[in-house]
A = this chain, B = another copy of it.
Amino acid sequence: MSPHSLCDMAAKQVAILGAGMIGDVHRRAAVLAGAQVLGVMASSAERSREVAQAWGIEEAYGSIEEVAESKAEIVHICTPNASHVPYAVALMEAGKHVLCEKPLGVSVEDAQHAAKVAQDTGVVNTIPFAYRFHPMTREMRARVQAEEFGTVNLMHGSYLQDWLLNPKATSWRVDPKAGGPSRAFGDIGSHWCDLVEWVTDDRIARLVATTSITIKQRPAATAATFSAVESAAPLVDVETEDTALILFRTANDVAGSAVISQLSAGRKNRLWVEVDGMHQSAVFDQELAEQLWIGSEAGAQVLVRDPNHGSDEQRRLSKLPAGHTQGYAQCFENYVADSYAAVAAHDGNGQVPESLPTFADGARAAEICDAMLRSAASGEWVSVGL
């Protein structure tokens, strides 16, 4: 609830590409961060106009060129995965700051290219690895850095959902042309890996993976993400994985394990990360994001999010009193507000906030995903990034 958040950034003008569930999440956060949403580009010029009217905003774009030529300083890319890199590159080259939905690209090369362009153009470029913006993941990272957990000896966890459990459920994410060659891992496994690497400041060096496609065919038709509406479209073969399991060893030779699944009944968005150190263990569970579990030989502590306790970054991102759950929306709002603060810093106002996930992190995620796919295919341990 910082009243200063607005005055710091006098009404940035932003455009939003994509009008689905996640586009609206971006819009909401942009408005709250004090931006003016100037325009929107949806799946067609007509649809753009409809959404612009629904959102009460002025401009409706029919092409990426129109966006590049608009007065928007900042563009949010919330379109299907395959369009991320071409759009981002075009916009960065036009001098726009870009907040691009993940995955950055559907191939390592694409993602690396976008990261390169980001570096060359010098614009602000961020990726919503939003779980970095929960105050309690900041607390977890601060405590790793303060060596409170001791030397890390194990990292493990899972990211489980059930929204594709129904064999009739489908989404553009199922189609490798729109969503990329990996689905469960690309969509949610990438969050898990980013979070654990960022929290521990260590890197997944090598991994071995196994994947499953349990539902062999799904309807071809597109549906909104997380939608339970069944499709009656003709069935097509599913080529992207429902579940992906990895073992890994890090640059520091720590062992790790992650279970990624979109077919775990009763699991809605269960990102669960445990980091075990020689003094303490710590668990972050996204569905209980107000707390951090810290285990020690004598028992456990349950730290609660609180603007009056804990690490600096935890306090900074705590916008409500303890006990008044911030939830997913405010975590996402923190991401957008910090991205805008980076734009302000780019313009000479203030500092770039800590821990912003950038296109370099997006390229990193693509490398891990590629390694996962290579290992699942070969059955061998593979190195990440080579």
The bracket for how many chain A residues form the interface is 35 or more
Quote the shortest CB–CB distance from A326 to chain B (angstroms): 5
A1's partner among B24, B32, B156 (CB-CB below 8 A) is B24
B56 touches A10 (CB 8 A): yes
B19, A3: Cβ atoms under 8 Å?
yes
Contact residues, A49-87 vs B (CB, 8 A):
51, 53-56
What are the residues of chain B within 8 A of A249 when measuring CB–CB? 210
A268-280 toward B: CB 8 Å interface, digit per residue (1/0)? 1110001011111
Q: Mark A259-291, 1 if CB is under 8 A from B, else 0.
A: 101011111111000101111110000111111
A95 at the interface (CB under 8 A from B): no
- The verdict on A386 contacting chain B, using a C-beta distance below 8 Å, is no
Q: How far is the CB of A80 from chain B (nearest CB, A)?
A: 17
What is the 8 Å Cβ interface bit string for chain A, positions 1-44, against chain B (1 contact, 0 not)?
A: 10110110011000000010100110010011010000000000
- A348 at the A/B interface (Cβ < 8 Å)? no
A265 touches B276 (CB 8 A): yes
A110 at the interface (CB under 8 A from B): no
Question: Is A325 in contact with chain B by the CB < 8 A criterion?
Answer: yes
User: Is residue A165 contacting chain B, with contact meaning CB distance below 8 A?
Assistant: yes
A281 to chain B, nearest CB (A): 4
A234 within 8 A of B: no
Q: Which of A149, A279, A280, A299 has the most CB of B within 10 A?
A: A299
Measured CA separation A295–B242 after assembly (Å): 18
Does any Cβ of B come within 8 Å of A251's Cβ? no
| Contacts known (A328-B326, A329-B327); A243 close to B321, Cβ less than 8 A | no
Residues B51 and A3 in contact, CB atoms below 8 Å apart:
yes
What is the CB-to-nearest-CB distance from A14 to chain B, in angstroms, rounded to a whole number? Answer: 15
Contacts of A254 in B (CB 8 A): 212
Q: Nearest chain B CB to A169's CB is how many angstroms away?
A: 10
Residues on the B chain within 8 Å of A288, using CB: 288
Is there contact, CB below 8 Å, between B299 and A301? yes
Give chain B residues whose Cβ lies under 8 Å from the Cβ of A323.
161, 267-270, 286-287
Contact present for B228 and A308 (CB under 8 Å): yes
Are B263 and A278 interface neighbours, CB within 8 A?
yes
Would you call A306 an interface residue if the criterion is a C-beta within 8 Å of the partner chain's C-beta atoms? yes
Q: Which of B210, B247, B299, B381 contacts A266 (CB 8 A)?
A: B299
Q: Is A117 an interface residue (CB 8 A)?
A: no
Partner of A3, one of B54, B211, B264: B54
Asked if B259 and A277 make an inter-chain contact with CB atoms under 8 angstroms apart, the answer reads no
Tell me the smallest distance from the CB of A347 to a CB of chain B, in Å. Answer: 17
A306 CB contact (under 8 Å) in B211, B268, B290: B268
| Chain B min CB distance to A209 (Å) | 8
CB neighbors of B among A235-269 (8 A) = 242-243, 245-247, 249, 253-257, 259, 261, 263-269
Q: CB within 8 Å of B: which residues of A? A: 1, 3-4, 6-7, 10-11, 19, 21, 24-25, 28, 31-32, 34, 51, 53-56, 149, 151, 153-154, 156, 158, 160-163, 165-166, 208-212, 214, 225-228, 242-243, 245-247, 249, 253-257, 259, 261, 263-270, 274, 276-281, 286-291, 293-304, 306, 308-309, 320-330, 379-381
